[in-house]
Amino acid sequence: MSENEKNSKNFIEEIIDEDLKTGKYSTVHTRFPPEPNGYLHIGHAKSICLNFGLAEKYNGKCNLRFDDTNPSKEEEEYVNSIIEDIKWLGFDWQERLFFTSDYFDQLYEYALILIKKGKAYVDSLTYEEIKEYRGKPIEPGKESPFRNRSIEENLDLFERMKNGEFAEGDYVLRAKIDMSSPNMNLRDPIMYRIKHETHHRTGNKWCIYPMYDWAHGQSDSIEGISHSICTLEFENHRPLYNWFLDELGIHHPRQIEFARLNLNYTIMSKRKLLELVEGKYVNGWDDPRMPTLSGMRRRGYTPESIRNFADKVGVAKRDSISDVALLEFSLREDLNKRAERRLAVLRPLKIVISNYPENKVEYLDAVNNPENEKAGKRKIPFSRELYIEQGDFQEEPHKKFYRLAPGREVRLRFAYIIKCEEVVKNSEGIIEKLICSYDPDTKSGSGTSNKKVKGTIHWVSAEHSVNAEVRLYDRLFTVENPAGDKEKDFKEFLNPKSLEILNNCKLEPELSEAKIGQYFQFERTGYFVLDSKDSKKDNLVFNRTVSLRDTWAKISRK
RNA sequence: UGCCGGGUCGUCUAAUGGCAGGACAGCGGCCUUUGACGCCGUAUGUAGAGGUUCGAGUCCUCUCCCGGCAGCCA
């Protein structure tokens, strides 16, 4: 990390520094406040890393709070998946797991205070009338005829709303602010609406539920939050956030907005993601192609790589679309250090070493991880019949191709240098196998030969190999900003080749012992993990997390 | 076009009136029993026009462009 990165602070840290300096707040206390109505995605991860990261950095605290004010959309299932995802990312809220619904009683009391101050009233306008009276951004709204009910009447009506005497839509509680404000959020915003629904935590205790604006700031206040960090679309809500707190005269956190994460070649909207799931364009929320944390976990992303990525994209107020290449860089950077190497042939081509004895088997040393000596070595079997990658042989080699070709030599990783003597084809002209010879003096590590070859390729012993299915993933969309087209639906940009299933892969025997959660590098091809859902002991399924950087692919394209 | 916010390399992000820097991506090279990793090098940017100043990405004025706001969603 450069001096620059170490010392430079983002704008939120500068605000916090200032607040600490002036004594506005004495400690940093943040919160991550998801609504339990869907699965977390990489965009949420940025917010999680920001909030928990700030708390860590300033030696403060970060709460987890479920913003569950709308029983029609929220479910227990989501609470559990969100908790699992945040834990997986490696953050800890200790005993500070809260729900906005924990504060429903307090919120009700606060509402009473505002009614008594003449700052809130019960409105009887219909849904449509409220919309009409609110006006438009460019023209002022008008006041409800019920705006000046007496405090007593408001108190009575509000209590009866709470007691379930009215139907949904009959009444709402509104803050009395300014119907002509240029900020729409200040045109007498609704604080409570009637919903005769069962809440996932409070059951049927309530039939009035607070709106986001009424619940959020007060919940922050109750929890003693210092800095309430949210995304840009809440910027226009800040005056209202402040208004409620000022009228109530309670602890006043500072709301700060930042730009949400966007990534190219994918989408971040919950609604659109849901559309992909429900339309079966993907196989569930945890499809490895999804930008959900559950999908990324299943794909083989490490939590560290996501946290590093969140650090690298930074925090600012301008709308932006980050390059998925940076995410993949963070992934490879982490995996390179930790993933054990294995040999695996994805698209097998049989070779026979004609001068190698029929029944001989040698167990050769293979380094588990050149980046980490402690990872040690393992033995891999070598025999007369092997598989190599189809792409590592060219009958008429490209001018810069330095792998196997007729009459050419190449090194087999950890083994011998071999030479292609003969290409055997079937009646249709398809290559069936290669007959090769090996040079016994070139055994890996023996030092008995000075022979150098330009290429080294991976292989597995045919007899000892393990079969597996391997799933290769490509980006889900073919364009950088699939949601950015005003004419076309984002689904028109789905990449038809986002999933490729290979059924005849040959793995070195060690991989039959692979465990879910282990990260592997299949040498020269990429990083892989066992699929946590579909892999079985006798039917191995691996997911390719990400390919290795492939300079050869670039050269060969030219 | 009412209010709010925002425009710095291709992308993301620094600069706090004083050498426009970093990372990723790109390109060129070195190294290599992974065409990986690593290392070295290299090109590319302050939306525009005025002004203040010894000096402006930063301050002022105007223009242009982008985003958000009219749920009893969050």
ipTM associated with this complex: 0.97
Write out the two tokens for A442: 């070139």
User: For A265-275, how does the pLDDT look when each residue is reduced to its tens digit (9 = 90+)?
Assistant: 999 999 999 99
Contact indicator for A103, A67 with CB cutoff of 8 Å: no
Question: Is the CB of A374 within 7 Å of strand B?
Answer: no
Read off the pLDDT band of A450 (50, 70, 90). confident
Nearest nucleotide from residue A169 CA, by C1' atom = B72
- Give me the mean pLDDT over the A189-199 stretch: 98
User: For A124-156, how does the pLDDT look when each residue is reduced to its tens digit (9 = 90+)?
Assistant: 999 999 999 999 999 999 999 999 999 999 999
Distance A161 CA to B72 C1' (A): 13
- A330, containing H or E segment: helix A324-338
Residue A354 lies in a domain: yes
Q: Do A473 and A409 belong together in one domain? A: no
Q: Which nucleotides of B are covered by protein (CB under 7 A)?
A: 1-8, 10-16, 21-27, 33-38, 66-74
Question: Is the CB of A3 within 7 Å of strand B?
Answer: no
Distance A309 CA to B13 C1' (A): 13
Q: Do A348 and A324 belong together in one domain? A: no
Decide which of A458, A485, A520 is a domain's last residue.
A458
Decide which of A433, A458, A483 is a domain's last residue.
A458
- Per DSSP, the three-state class of A57 is helix
Q: Please determine, for residue A526, whether its predicted confidence score (pLDDT) is greater than 50.
A: yes
Residue A265 lies in a domain: no
Question: Is the CB of A361 within 7 Å of strand B?
Answer: no
Q: What is the CATH number of the domain that holds A211?
A: 3.40.50.620
Q: Do A277 and A395 belong together in one domain? A: no
Give me the helices (H) in A71-222, please: 76-89, 104-116, 127-134, 151-162, 212-222
Q: How far apart are CA A342 and CA A267, in angstroms?
A: 33
Question: Is the CB of A126 within 7 Å of strand B?
Answer: yes
Residue A264 lies in a domain: no
- One-letter amino acid at A534 equals D
Contact indicator for A498, A386 with CB cutoff of 8 Å: no
Nearest nucleotide from residue A168 CA, by C1' atom = B72
Residue A143 lies in a domain: yes
- Give me the mean pLDDT over the A345-355 stretch: 98
Question: Is the CB of A330 within 7 Å of strand B?
Answer: no
Question: Is the CB of A315 within 7 Å of strand B?
Answer: yes
Q: What is the CATH number of the domain that holds A367?
A: 2.40.240.10
Q: How far apart are CA A401 and CA A369, in angstroms?
A: 27
Residue A497 lies in a domain: yes
Q: Do A225 and A306 belong together in one domain? A: no
**pLDDT for res A3:** 41
Q: Do A278 and A293 belong together in one domain? A: yes
Q: Which residues of A490-499 are buried (b: 16+ CB within 10 A; e: fewer)?
A: beebbbeebb
- Give me the mean pLDDT over the A286-294 stretch: 98
Nearest nucleotide from residue A413 CA, by C1' atom = B33
- Which residue, counting CA atoms, is nearest to the C1' of nucleotide B10? A323
Q: Do A175 and A314 belong together in one domain? A: no
Q: What is the pTM of this model?
A: 0.96
Q: Do A98 and A186 belong together in one domain? A: yes
User: At CA A547, angle to CA A529 and CA A365, rounded to 5?
Assistant: 65
Q: Please determine, for residue A515, whether its predicted confidence score (pLDDT) is greater than 80.
A: yes
**pLDDT for res A6:** 52
Q: Please determine, for residue A411, whether its predicted confidence score (pLDDT) is greater than 50.
A: yes
Question: Is the CB of A333 within 7 Å of strand B?
Answer: yes
Q: Do A514 and A382 belong together in one domain? A: no
Question: Is the CB of A209 within 7 Å of strand B?
Answer: yes
Q: Do A311 and A167 belong together in one domain? A: no
Distance A146 CA to B3 C1' (A): 27
Q: Do A293 and A419 belong together in one domain? A: no
**pLDDT for res A4:** 43
Q: Do A220 and A319 belong together in one domain? A: no
Active site members of A: 35, 260, 270
Residue A443 lies in a domain: yes
**From residues 490-519 of A, which are strand B contacts by CB within 7 A?**
none
Contact indicator for A400, A554 with CB cutoff of 8 Å: no
User: At CA A409, angle to CA A408 and CA A412, rounded to 5?
Assistant: 140
| Total number of domains constituting chain A | 3
Q: Please determine, for residue A1, whether its predicted confidence score (pLDDT) is greater than 70.
A: no
Contact indicator for A80, A115 with CB cutoff of 8 Å: no
Q: Do A153 and A220 belong together in one domain? A: yes
- Give me the mean pLDDT over the A73-97 stretch: 96
Distance A494 CA to B64 C1' (A): 35
Poorest-pLDDT segment among A4-8, A107-111, A322-326, A551-555? A4-8
Question: Is the CB of A117 within 7 Å of strand B?
Answer: no
Distance A483 CA to B74 C1' (A): 20
Boundaries of domain holding A141: 3-258
- Give me the mean pLDDT over the A380-391 stretch: 98
Residue A30 lies in a domain: yes
Residue A362, class by beta-carbon neighbours within 10 Å (0-12 exposed, 13-18 middle, 19+ buried)?
Answer: middle
Decide which of A458, A483, A512 is a domain's last residue.
A458
Residue A463 lies in a domain: no
